[in-house]
A and B are shown apart, each in its own frame.
Chain A
C-alpha cells in the first residue's frame, strides 16, 4: 500500500539524496529483514484488496520466489536463527517488485473515482456555420 512519504521530495534534490543515502542504507540494514532473506516488498501488509490483486498480478516466477522467501523467513523465525552472511539479501537484490504494481492498481482506482466524479458541461462555443443539414 503506498503511504505518504518524503522519499520523492528527497530524491528530487540530489544534494539531499547524497546526504541522506548513507543514513537510509544503515537503517535498511539495521531493520534486519535482509538477514532473514526477505525483501522490503515482502513486508507490505497484504490484508487488503489492492495488495491481494497486485500479488495475483505478479509473474509466476516472482510469485514463487516470494512464497519461498516467506517460508524460509518463517522457519528461521520459528527456530530463532538468522541466515549465514552469504545468504543475506544483497542491497542490489532488494528491489521493489510489488510497489510498482500496487501503484498501478491505485492509479486505476483513482482514475475510476475521477471519472465517476466527472461533471459534464455542454460545449460553450457556438458552431459558426449553423446546424448541420441532414437529409
Chain B
C-alpha cells in the first residue's frame, strides 16, 4: 500500500535538513524579472524565485521540429514524456503527481521541446528526479508507442487538418524557411507516423534531445541553490554527449529566407497569411526591434474583448467577423513577420488588399507619429508581459540557454524597443515590401487572391 507519507518522505526529509527559507520581498519587487543562470554537473540551469507557493519547472530541450532527425520525431518524443520509465510505470507517475497536486505537461514548438510540471514548492526534489528519469530512463517500448503514443499523434494530425489557420501558418513557414524552421509543427500528413516513426527511432532521437549540452532546466518559483543541489543529485545519469550527428551542420546552419506562394483548398474556413522576413532573437544576430514595433503598429487584435480595436489593420478589417492578427514570430536566428487573416473568403480578400495598402502607407510615411508611439508602447508592454509570463518566460529562457548559453534578456529587448525611431519603422516597412513575400492562402481558392493580385512580390 502506498501512503502519501511514503511519497512525501523525500520532500519532508529535505525540509528538515534546511533552515527556514527567507524570501525577501525586495528582491522580487525590484522590477527585474531576470533569470539567474548557472551550471550543475554539466546541465545548464536557470531559475527565478518569484514569491508564491508554487513552482513551475521545465526541461527545455533543443529538440523542436527544426532539429528533428526525421519527420514526426519531435511529436513522438513529446508524447513519450512521462510514459513508463525503468523505475516506475506511467500510471504510477500520474497517480503520484495527482496525489502531490501537480500538473504535468509537455509540448513542442519549432525550436524547443518543453517537458514540465507545476507543483507546490516543497515537492521540488520529487519533480527534479522525475524529469531526470524522463530524460534518462524512459522505456521506449513498441507496444507503448502503438497503444498510447500513436493515437495521440493521429489526433494531432486530425486537429491540424481541421484548422485552416494552422495549415496557413505552417505553409507560410515552409515557404519562408524550407527545411529547418520550415518543418511543420504538427504532422501535416500520415507519412511521418507511417513511414518514419517507430519506438526505436524515437529512442535514438531521445539520445540527442536529452544529452546534457542540448537541454536546460528552468524553474520559476524555486531558489537557485535548491535547484542547483537537486539537479546535481539527480541529473548525473543523463548522458553527457549526444551520438555523432551527421546532419548537425545542416540543421544548425543559419536559416535562410526564401519566400514564395502556396494555395491550399480547404472546405471549412478561410485563412490567408502574408509573411515577410522578420527579426531574430536578441542574441541571434539579426535582431530588429523595429519589426516588433511594426507588428504592433499593424496590430489587428484588441486587448478589449468587445471591440476589434483601433490598430491599423483592425480598422482595415472588412467586417467585425474577420479576425486579423499581426505577429512577429521570433526564432533563434531568424524570424517571420506575418499578418494572418481569417473569416469568409470575400472578407479575407478585401482585408488582404487593405492590409497591403496599409503597409504601403507606412512605408510612404503617411502614419502619424502618435500612432507609432502607441505602437511602441504596445510592443514594449507585450515584450515585458511575455517575459513576465511563466510559461513563455520558461521556454524563452531555456531556448536562449540551449541555443547560445545566454538567458533571455528581457531588459535589453525592452530598451531596444524604446529606442526605435519613426524613420526606422518606415524603412522597415519599405524593406518588407521590396523583399520577396510569402503568401499562403487556405480555403475557397476561387475567391482568395493571388500574391500578384495583392501587389506583393513572390
**Chain A interfacial positions (CB closer than 8 Å to B):** 56-57, 59, 108, 111-112, 114-115, 117-125, 127-130, 132-135
Question: Do the beta carbons of A135 and B51 come within 8 Å of each other?
Answer: yes
The verdict on B225 contacting chain A, using a C-beta distance below 8 Å, is no
For the A-B complex, the count of residue pairs with Cβ-Cβ distances under 8 Å equals: 61
Question: Do the beta carbons of A122 and B4 come within 8 Å of each other?
Answer: yes
Q: Which residues of A contact B15 (CB under 8 A)?
A: 127, 129
The verdict on B267 contacting chain A, using a C-beta distance below 8 Å, is no
With both beta carbons as reference points, the residue of chain A lying nearest to B3 in the complex is identified as: A121
Question: Do the beta carbons of B2 and A134 come within 8 Å of each other?
Answer: no
Distance of A15 Cα from B238 Cα, bound (Å):
44
With both beta carbons as reference points, the residue of chain B lying nearest to A128 in the complex is identified as: B16
> Given A59-B142, A112-B91, A132-B20, 12 other A-B contacts at CB below 8 A?
A108-B89, A111-B89, A115-B2, A115-B95, A117-B1, A118-B3, A119-B1, A119-B3, A123-B8, A127-B15, A133-B23, A134-B52
Q: How far is the CB of A69 from chain B (nearest CB, A)?
A: 22
Q: How far is the CB of B11 from chain A (nearest CB, A)?
A: 10
Distance of A113 Cα from B130 Cα, bound (Å):
23
**Chain B interfacial positions (CB closer than 8 Å to A):** 1-5, 8, 12, 15-16, 19-23, 25, 28, 51-53, 89, 91-92, 95, 99, 121-122, 142-143, 146
Q: How far is the CB of A57 from chain B (nearest CB, A)?
A: 4
Q: How far is the CB of B343 from chain A (nearest CB, A)?
A: 46
Q: Which residues of B contact A57 (CB under 8 A)?
A: 142-143
Q: Are A134 and B19 CB-contacts (below 8 A) given A111-B89, A114-B2, A115-B91?
A: no
Cβ contact of A120, chosen from B22, B23, B99, B146, cutoff 8 A? B99
With both beta carbons as reference points, the residue of chain A lying nearest to B19 in the complex is identified as: A129
With both beta carbons as reference points, the residue of chain B lying nearest to A105 in the complex is identified as: B143
Is the contact region of chain B dominated by helix, strand, or loop, or is it mixed?
helix
Is the contact region of chain A dominated by helix, strand, or loop, or is it mixed?
loop
Q: How far is the CB of A101 from chain B (nearest CB, A)?
A: 9
Q: 25 A–B contact pairs at CB < 8 A?
A: A56-B143, A57-B142, A57-B143, A108-B91, A111-B89, A112-B91, A118-B1, A118-B3, A118-B95, A119-B1, A120-B3, A120-B4, A120-B99, A121-B5, A122-B5, A124-B5, A128-B16, A129-B15, A130-B20, A132-B21, A132-B121, A132-B122, A134-B23, A134-B53, A135-B25
Q: How far is the CB of A18 from chain B (nearest CB, A)?
A: 35
Q: Are A123 and B20 CB-contacts (below 8 A) given A132-B121, A134-B53?
A: no
Question: Do the beta carbons of A121 and B4 come within 8 Å of each other?
Answer: yes
Distance of A54 Cα from B8 Cα, bound (Å):
35
Distance of A17 Cα from B177 Cα, bound (Å):
68
Distance of A59 Cα from B52 Cα, bound (Å):
49
Question: Do the beta carbons of B20 and A118 come within 8 Å of each other?
Answer: no
With both beta carbons as reference points, the residue of chain B lying nearest to A135 in the complex is identified as: B51
Distance of A129 Cα from B89 Cα, bound (Å):
35
Distance of A3 Cα from B134 Cα, bound (Å):
34
Q: Which residues of A contact B2 (CB under 8 A)?
A: 114-115, 118
Cβ contact of B12, chosen from A108, A119, A123, A133, cutoff 8 A? A123
Most chain-B CB neighbours within 10 Å: which of A130, A133, A135?
A: A135
Cβ contact of A123, chosen from B4, B91, B121, cutoff 8 A? B4
Distance of A125 Cα from B8 Cα, bound (Å):
11
Distance of A130 Cα from B51 Cα, bound (Å):
18
Q: How far is the CB of B171 from chain A (nearest CB, A)?
A: 36
Distance of A119 Cα from B89 Cα, bound (Å):
20
Q: How far is the CB of B141 from chain A (nearest CB, A)?
A: 8
Cβ contact of A129, chosen from B20, B25, B52, B146, cutoff 8 A? B20
With both beta carbons as reference points, the residue of chain B lying nearest to A57 in the complex is identified as: B143
Distance of A118 Cα from B51 Cα, bound (Å):
34
Distance of A130 Cα from B15 Cα, bound (Å):
11
With both beta carbons as reference points, the residue of chain B lying nearest to A130 in the complex is identified as: B20
Q: Which residues of A contact B21 (CB under 8 A)?
A: 132
Q: Are A114 and B52 CB-contacts (below 8 A) given A57-B143, A127-B15?
A: no
Q: Which residues of B contact A129 (CB under 8 A)?
A: 15, 19-20
Distance of A129 Cα from B19 Cα, bound (Å):
8
Distance of A121 Cα from B8 Cα, bound (Å):
11
With both beta carbons as reference points, the residue of chain A lying nearest to B143 in the complex is identified as: A57
Q: Which residues of B contact A119 (CB under 8 A)?
A: 1, 3
Q: Which residues of A contact B122 (CB under 8 A)?
A: 132
Distance of A111 Cα from B351 Cα, bound (Å):
58
Q: Which residues of A contact B8 (CB under 8 A)?
A: 123
With both beta carbons as reference points, the residue of chain A lying nearest to B5 in the complex is identified as: A123
Distance of A59 Cα from B141 Cα, bound (Å):
11
Question: Do the beta carbons of B12 and A125 come within 8 Å of each other?
Answer: yes
Q: How far is the CB of A53 from chain B (nearest CB, A)?
A: 8
Question: Do the beta carbons of A134 and B91 come within 8 Å of each other?
Answer: no
Q: Which residues of B contact A134 (CB under 8 A)?
A: 23, 51-53
Distance of A128 Cα from B21 Cα, bound (Å):
13
Q: How far is the CB of B438 from chain A (nearest CB, A)?
A: 43
Q: Which residues of B contact A117 (CB under 8 A)?
A: 1
Q: Which residues of A contact B19 (CB under 8 A)?
A: 129
Distance of A17 Cα from B235 Cα, bound (Å):
44
Distance of A114 Cα from B25 Cα, bound (Å):
45
Distance of A115 Cα from B6 Cα, bound (Å):
13
Distance of A108 Cα from B51 Cα, bound (Å):
40
Q: Which residues of B contact A123 (CB under 8 A)?
A: 4-5, 8, 12
Distance of A132 Cα from B19 Cα, bound (Å):
11
Q: Which residues of A contact B20 (CB under 8 A)?
A: 129-130, 132-133
Distance of A115 Cα from B8 Cα, bound (Å):
16
